[in-house]
Amino acid sequence: MDSQFHKDSKGYWEAPFPFRKNRKRLANTHKQALYRAKQFSSCLMKDKTKRQHVIEFMDQLIQKHHAEVAPPISSDEECWYLPLFGVYHPKKPYKIRLVFDSSSKCEGQSLNDVLLSGPDLTNSLLGVIMRFRREEVAIMADVEQMFYCFRVIPDHQNFLRFLWHEDNDVNKPLIEYRMTVHVFGNSPSPAIATYGMRRTVKEVEHIYGTDVTHYIERDFYVDDGLTSQQSVEDAVDLMKRTHKALSLGKLRLHKIASNNSEVMKSFDTEDLSSDLKNLDFAVDSLPTQRSLGLNWNLESDSFFFKISKDSKSYTRRDVLSTIPVFLTPWFFFSPSDSPGKVNHEKSASRNFQLG
């Protein structure tokens, strides 16, 4: 990545796929992808709401040039076709995310099997949260569509081919498209995006300061940045300098929220978290924010937990999805603490609260 990460003529970062050495040649997966695409289309035709969400998502990909109609290739040229499926976030039933199934296998091999995942650059979740509670003024933000901010070099884009309807019209035939950016589902995407974001601010550290670099390198968990500062002025200054530094790499910092109304008044409405954009901070109550699996009450500046009472089946998937919910509160305690007793000496000045 050090040698091949570069910016294109428009200032966007481009990065290659980190292929394994001495790998097997990938099989042609067009037939398999076509079968999956027809299944997906059939499913959408039965669900009008989901169909509309997928069309809107795909329209955004095409309009932003994250996806394009794929050019013809010769029969002997190596490529890969990715099946698609849609997922909904439990908290966002009105918004779908299309996932490219890079783990789908053909002849015993998937795209992820031939790619290196890269170094683990993800910060400690506990460390990020504890530093977030250290100072008086807390602020969080998010990098918009982080993976899509990094383009795939042209020579490797044919490994991201997929089948979708011509002109994004489900009544028209399936044709070949390809992604031009690194996608959610590819094993190296997290490392590529994190590396690229850190490199962006490192290259302009002499302009925007070492504290911006420190914030990006230590206080981000993938695309979520949580930090705390001693004063409103410090928090606003840091976030504005970070916003400018990231913009030089075509990355956008947005969804800003803080436990201090004066901080949020200092930013454009479009840069605030969606449920803060239409508030009058002088009179309106601040809504709860959610990040890294935690609920943050801005008014009381405390975390609280909501335990789902939904009944689930006794399967391995549902058991594993349930266990973390009940274990999460306990990372605020040291092994020597008795249940229900917060370790105030080891926690920060703004205490955790369990609800």
The domain limits of the chain are 6-115+147-188, 305-355
Name the nearest CA neighbour of 274 among 290, 285, 262, 261.
290
pLDDT value at residue 275: 86
* pLDDT score recorded for residue 325: 52
Note the pLDDT of residue 94: 84
Q: Is the pLDDT of residue 352 over 60?
A: no
Mean pLDDT throughout 288-303? 87
Question: What is the pLDDT confidence band of residue 305, given thresholds at 50, 70 and 90?
Answer: confident
Confidence of residue 304 (pLDDT cuts 50, 70, 90): confident
Indicate if the pLDDT at residue 345 is higher than 50.
no
Q: Work out the pLDDT band at 314, boundaries 50, 70, 90.
A: confident
Q: pLDDT tier at 37 (50, 70, 90 boundaries)?
A: very high
Tell me what pLDDT residue 112 has: 95
Residue at token pair 């040649």:
25
CB-based contacts of 266, cutoff 8 Å, min separation 6:
232, 236, 240
- Indicate if the pLDDT at residue 217 is higher than 80: yes
Please choose, from the candidates 11, 38, 56, 91, the residue with its C-alpha nearest in 3D space to the C-alpha of residue 295. Answer: 91
Q: Quickly count: other Cβ atoms within 10 Å of residue 126's Cβ.
A: 10
The H-or-E segment that residue 68 falls in is strand 67-69
Mean pLDDT confidence for 75-87: 92
Q: How does 60-74 read in b/e, with b if 16+ C-beta sit within 10 Å?
A: ebeeeebbeebeeee
Q: Distance between CA atoms of 223 and 196, rounded to whole angstroms? A: 12
Of 182, 178, 200, nearest in space to 191 by CA = 182
pLDDT for the residue numbered 56: 95
The number of residues making up the chain comes to 355
How much is the average pLDDT of 91-102? 87
Q: What is the mean pLDDT of residues 240-246?
A: 97
State the CATH architecture for 6-115+147-188: Roll (3.10)
The per-residue pLDDT for range 133-175, each reduced to its tens digit, is 999 999 999 999 999 999 999 999 999 999 999 999 999 999 9
**Does the pLDDT at position 186 exceed 60?**
yes
> Does 26 have pLDDT greater than 80?
yes
Q: What is the mean pLDDT of residues 174-192?
A: 95
